[in-house]
Amino acid sequence: MVLRIVLILFLLSSFVFAKHLYPEKYYQDIWCKEQKGQTEVKLIDDTRIDCLTKTHAIEFDFASKWAEAIGQSLHYSNMTKRNAGIVLIIEKSDDYKYFNKIKPLCEKHQITLWEMKPPNKPIKTQEFYNLEKIIELIIGFIKALIKLFSNF
């Protein structure tokens, strides 16, 4: 019985707190193929460029990691002597706050900036994993556990 409860808790937590719709590599593979670039190009310092095209060395990151993307793209640009580029992955409307932070820095440091959204998924203002939904799911789960244990 305890094992069943632990398993349910584990499955619920992984479902509720799933961070992204797709892994970064999913976006990277689609975009880079469209641009006729190479993915995961290894440099002599053992770092890897997410996508290397004829003109750009490009870093892919989810919007919340916008600051990391700047440093990586500049490093890749320096190592390859190609233009720095960033593809910022936008999975929800709240991600645009990060896009608005990175955009002026990209302009200042001459980093080409693209945004990429999940295919066939419109960006909505209300996302599944907002705090209200999480609390609602947890309360429902606790009620189910109470009901389950009250039968003993």
Matching residue, tokens 């707190």: 17
**Res 110: pLDDT:** 96
C-alpha to C-alpha distance for 100 and 87, rounded to whole angstroms: 14
C-alpha to C-alpha distance for 9 and 17, rounded to whole angstroms: 12
**Res 1: pLDDT:** 52
Altogether, the residues listed in the chain come to a count of: 152
The most confident of the ranges 23-27, 39-43, 93-97 is 39-43
